[in-house]
Amino acid sequence: MPAGKIEHCYATGTINGYEYCGGIAGSNKSFGMTNEPQGWPDGTVNSCVALNKSVTQRYTPPHYVNDYKERVGRITGFAQIIQVGSSDCRNMSNNWGRSNMNVVYDGSNINCESNLKGRHGKNILEPGYHGAYSDSWWTTDPEGPKFSSTCWSVAKNRLPHLKTTTGAAFKQPQTPVVQ
């Protein structure tokens, strides 16, 4: 099945899983079945921000024991790297991960490399996403995720709020929180 696209979103929840575990997506890889056409593209994950407290992979099936680090990440649990020795991933760009997020495999913390094109995203500290200049970081800062002000309401010292399809605010209050 053709893969999808995730763009301009953020997550704040705690993630617990068993195989592919990521703060935004479990995997951006298109896994074809034997009777599916070859060459379907992988999914894309662009301009996303993982603010999760933790991403934890609790169990890895025996055939994955030697490559567990490829199955858990701040942005996605699995992404196809561009070339051996690189941490850049296909179809991933401008993604950010909370710098103090706990990324855990079977009780052990994983070291997360800071990389805008990697499965862990680039490190972001709280003053960037939730501080005095957070409104510009989310939307107009060249170093930020460039969320659209058409879809998102931003202000200093808070996380973005999603707008309705007509661009209005939702009637119910939004109070997203970073744990």
Q: Which amino acid is at 81?
A: I
On whether residue 169 sits in a domain, the answer given is no
Domain boundaries, position 156: 5-31+40-162
Reported confidence tier of residue 34, pLDDT bands at 50, 70, 90: very low
On whether residue 175 sits in a domain, the answer given is no
On whether residue 149 sits in a domain, the answer given is yes
Q: Which amino acid is at 117?
A: K
Q: What is the pLDDT of residues 98-109, one digit of tens each?
A: 999 999 988 889
- Quote the tokens at residue 80: 């196809």
Question: In the prediction, which pLDDT does 148 show?
Answer: 92
- Using the structure block, give the residue that is written with the tokens 């894309």: 44
On whether residue 167 sits in a domain, the answer given is no
- Is the Cβ–Cβ distance between 47 and 67 less than 8 Å? no
User: Which residues make Cβ contacts (< 8 Å) with residue 70, sequence separation at least 6?
Assistant: 78
On whether residue 47 sits in a domain, the answer given is yes
Q: What is the pLDDT of residues 120-165, one digit of tens each?
A: 999 999 888 888 888 899 999 988 999 999 999 999 999 999 998 8
What's the pTM value of the predicted model, to 2 decimals? 0.85
On whether residue 170 sits in a domain, the answer given is no
On whether residue 173 sits in a domain, the answer given is no
Q: What is the pLDDT of residues 102-128, one digit of tens each?
A: 999 888 898 999 999 888 999 999 888
DSSP the chain: ----EEES-EE-S-EEESSSEESSBS-------TTSPTTPPPPEEES-EE--SEEEE----GGGGGGGGGGEESSBS---BSSTT---BTTEES-EEETT-EEEETTEEPP----TTSTT-EEE-HHHHHSTTHHHHHHT-TTS----TTTEE--TTS--EEPPTTSPPPSS-------
Tell me how many domains the chain contains.
1
Please state, rounded to an integer, the average pLDDT across all residues of the chain.
82
In DSSP terms, which residues pair with 92 in a beta bridge? Answer: 45
On whether residue 103 sits in a domain, the answer given is yes
Question: In the prediction, which pLDDT does 86 show?
Answer: 62
